[in-house]
A and B are shown apart, each in its own frame.
Chain A
Amino acid sequence: GQQLNQSPQSMFIQEGEDVSMNCTSSSIFNTWLWYKQDPGEGPVLLIALYKAGELTSNGRLTAQFGITRKDSFLNISASIPSDVGIYFCAGQLPSDSGGSNYKLTFGKGTLLTVNP
């Protein structure tokens, strides 16, 4: 099936540092979503991107939909301890590439650890 390559797999940073993670694919995606999952919880939607080139912010988080529609990045500025968790990108394939019924394809996640 279609795959999203998410990197890095894990990050260890100091509180206050900025963080960047990204997802790439060989396929074009119509939509990019970024989620955060805390241990033992369901993912929480952070940012949704719908147009190529779109840059959207949500507090200290900024995400962009790549102009080629094959990638997206998420930046977190001035990290704090509660930013700890697993961040997932998710994308929606066009229907003519196998996407259907609003299914999402998920990346494997980036585990973020913030040292106080």
Chain B
Amino acid sequence: GAVVSQHPSRVICKSGTSVKIECRSLDFQATTMFWYRQFPKQSLMLMATSNEGSKATYEQGVEKDKFLINHASLTLSTLTVTSAHPEDSSFYICSAKFRRNSYEQYFGPGTRLTVT
């Protein structure tokens, strides 16, 4: 149980275009989903917390207009990187929690974004 998928696993896009990454909880309803960014050989950096049906809460320094998050249902959250630049190239990982009073987060397999 507690399987989270992400799509696509890899994406290459040109500078200035937008890219959408999907995060789905496959066998549970996720009360909260999280989006992280990870640079090579570094830890996970939380970008935003997403609750179904409400606006995402962004971490300090993360541009909400650049990283659009939509959590339309209890099993799907999307991250759209708008007007992507090469410095946005990174490994983006989502996670989900399904127990209301639990802190356990289950992670997706990640999406490797390369902006050329």
A: residues with CB less than 8 A from B are 30-31, 33, 35, 40-45, 48, 88, 90, 92, 101-104, 106-109
Size bracket of the B interface: 20 to 34
Selected from B4, B91, B103, B106, the residue in CB contact (under 8 A) with A30 is B103
Assess the B44–A48 pair: CB atoms within 8 A.
no
Assess the A102–B103 pair: CB atoms within 8 A.
yes
- Give A89 to B110 CA distance when docked, in angstroms: 19
- Give A30 to B102 CA distance when docked, in angstroms: 11
Say how far A100's CB is from chain B's closest CB, in angstroms.
9
Say how far A76's CB is from chain B's closest CB, in angstroms.
20
Selected from B43, B106, B110, the residue in CB contact (under 8 A) with A41 is B110
- Give A39 to B44 CA distance when docked, in angstroms: 13
Chain B residues with CB under 8 A of A31: 103
Assess the A101–B32 pair: CB atoms within 8 A.
yes
Known contacts A42-B110, A101-B32, A101-B49: A106-B44 contact under CB 8 Å:
yes
> B46 contacts the other chain (Cβ, under 8 Å)?
yes
Q: Is the interface of B mostly helix, strand, loop or mixed?
A: strand
> B15 contacts the other chain (Cβ, under 8 Å)?
no
22 contacts between A and B (CB under 8 A): A33-B104, A40-B110, A42-B93, A42-B108, A42-B109, A43-B107, A45-B105, A45-B106, A48-B104, A88-B43, A88-B44, A101-B32, A101-B51, A102-B32, A102-B49, A102-B102, A102-B103, A103-B34, A103-B46, A104-B46, A106-B44, A108-B42
- Give A110 to B116 CA distance when docked, in angstroms: 31
User: Lowest 10 A-B CB distances belong to which pairs?
Assistant: A42-B107, A92-B103, A31-B103, A42-B110, A108-B43, A106-B43, A43-B107, A42-B109, A42-B93, A101-B49
